[in-house]
Amino acid sequence: MYKVAVIPGDGTGPEQVNEGLKVLEAAQEKFNFKMETVEYDLGGERYLRSGDILLEHELEELKNFDAIFLGAIGHPDVKPGILEKGLLLELRFKLDQYINLRPVKLYPGVYTPIKDKEPQDIDFVIVRENTESLYSGAGGFMRKDTPQEIAVQESINTRYGVERCLRYAYDYCRTKRQRKKLTLCGKTNVLTYSADLWMRVFEELGLSYPEVERDYAHVDAIVMWMVKNPEWFDVIVTDNMFGDIITDLGAMIQGGMGIAAGGNIHPGRVSMFEPIGGSAPKYTGQGIINPLASICAGAMMLDFFGETEAAESIEQAVGDVCKNKLESLNAGAMGYSTSEVGDLVVESL
C-alpha cells in the first residue's frame, strides 16, 4: 500500500491532478497494487484565506508519506516568490529532495518546434541538483537602497551535495538507459571553483561506472545543441540553476508544458511529483487544460515506487493518445476536454 499526499494547489492544478489520479486508479486495478491518498489544502487560496503557507505539523505529516502528488502552486493575487519559496522550495529543501528528475521525451505525433526531429531524436533525461547552487539562499545586501548598494547571491556547492547528485545520475544512467551516456553540464571555463568541483567529482565517480560513457559540455553550448542536435543526449546532469533553465528548454522541445513532468526525489524517502507547467490561472475551471503532464508525473511516481510495468504502460498509453487522438497538446486546442483526455488515457491503458 503506497501512501500518497495529494496537493492539488492553485489554478488549474486541481483539474490536472484529478486526471492524474484517475489514471493512477485505473493502473492500480490493472497492475494490482494499492495507493491510499490524503489531500492537503495548500497553496495560494489557503494562504490568502489564513495567512499560512506550510505549518510545522503539515511538514512533519508529509514526511510519513511515500510520495507527494502535486498539482501546481501559484496564484495571481499572491506576490511572486512567496509561494515558490514558502511552499515549493521549502518542501524540496526540508524534505531534502536532492534530485530534480526531468525526462525530455518527444512522443509520437507531438509537435516539436525543432524542424525534422523525430521521437527517436528527442529522448533524454535531465538530472538537476535540487538543494544547492544559487538556490541555497546564501547572500545578502549591503548598503541597501543606497546608490552604493551591493547584492551578493552565492552559489553553494558542497562535495556531499555534488557527489550524491552525480552518483544518482550515474546509477540512473547505468540502470535505466540503453545508451548509458552521461553528459555533465557546467561552465568550467569561468566558474573555476564550483564547476571545478563538479568536474573532479564527475571524473572520480566515473571510475566506478566503466559502462557509462562520460561527456562534458558548457551550459551555453548545451542550449545550442539541445536545439540543433538533441539526439546527442542521453542523461544530462547539472547544478540547480543551470538545471532550472535547461529543463524548460527541454520542456519546449518535447512539446511544451502540456506534457512536461518532473520528480523531486530523495531515494527511499518521500518524493514529490508534479507537472512542471504551473497553475495556468487563466484557464482555471474551463476544462481545457492538458492533463498529460500530471498523468506523466503519476507514471514517474509509480516508477519511483518500483511499479515499473505500470509506469511504462501509462507512458505507452500517453504516447498512443498523443499519436492517435489529440489535435495538439495546447490548452483549448486538444480537440478534447481535460477529463476526456484522462478518459482516453485510461481507455488506452
266 to 305, contacts with ligand IPM by CB under 6 A? 276
90 binds ligand IPM (CB under 6 A): no
**Stretch binding ligand IPM (CB under 6 A), from 13-21, 84-92, 191-199, 308-316:** 84-92
236 to 255, contacts with ligand IPM by CB under 6 A? 244
Reported as type and span, the H/E element at residue 71 is strand 67-72
Is 290 within 8 Å of 330 (Cβ atoms)?
Answer: yes
- Grid coordinates representing 243 are 538545471
Which residue's CB comes closest to ligand IPM?
Answer: 84
**Stretch binding Mn ion (CB under 5 A), from 168-176, 238-246, 312-320, 326-334:** 238-246
Is 97 within 8 Å of 272 (Cβ atoms)?
Answer: yes
Nearer to Mn ion, 171 or 248 (CB): 248
What is the rounded CA–CA span in Å between residue 17 and residue 13?
A: 6
Burial code (b: 16+ CB inside 10 Å, e: under 16) for 201-219 equals: bbeebbeebeebebebbbb
First vs last C-alpha separation in the chain: 21
What is the rounded CA–CA span in Å between residue 182 and residue 213?
A: 6
- Grid coordinates representing 9 are 494547489
245 binds Mn ion (CB under 5 A): no
Identify what 163 binds: ligand IPM, Mn ion, none; CB under 5 to 8 Å per kind.
Answer: none
**Stretch binding ligand IPM (CB under 6 A), from 14-22, 28-36, 49-57, 83-91:** 83-91
244 binds Mn ion (CB under 5 A): yes
Nearest to 216 by CA among 273, 225, 77: 225
Identify what 90 binds: Mn ion, ligand IPM, none; CB under 5 to 8 Å per kind.
Answer: none
The DSSP 8-state label assigned to residue 156 in this structure reads B
147 to 206, contacts with Mn ion by CB under 5 A? none
The DSSP 8-state label assigned to residue 281 in this structure reads G
Is 95 within 8 Å of 130 (Cβ atoms)?
Answer: no
Identify what 36 binds: Mn ion, ligand IPM, none; CB under 5 to 8 Å per kind.
Answer: none
Single residue of 39, 89, 114, 225 touching ligand IPM by CB under 6 A: 89
Contacts of 330 (CB under 8 A, 6+ apart): 256, 258, 290
Nearer to Mn ion, 46 or 102 (CB): 102
58 binds ligand IPM (CB under 6 A): no
Nearer to ligand IPM, 254 or 313 (CB): 254
**Stretch binding ligand IPM (CB under 6 A), from 4-12, 81-89, 110-118, 332-340:** 81-89
CB of 7 to ligand IPM, least distance (A): 14
Total interface residues for ligand IPM by CB under 6 A:
5
Contacts of 229 (CB under 8 A, 6+ apart): none
88 binds ligand IPM (CB under 6 A): yes
Query: Would you put residue 197 in left (φ > 0), alpha (ψ -120 to 50) or beta?
Result: alpha
- Grid coordinates representing 190 are 569561468
The site map against ligand IPM for 313-332 (x = CB under 6 A) is --------------------
Q: Which residue matches cell numbers 486495478?
A: 29
* DSSP-assigned beta bridge partners for residue 141: 151
- Considering only CA atoms, give the Rg of the chain: 20
Single residue of 52, 84, 203, 204 touching ligand IPM by CB under 6 A: 84
CB of 13 to Mn ion, least distance (A): 16
Identify what 223 binds: Mn ion, ligand IPM, none; CB under 5 to 8 Å per kind.
Answer: none
- The footprint of Mn ion (CB under 5 A) covers 244
Name the residues that contact ligand IPM, by CB under 6 A: 84, 88-89, 244, 276
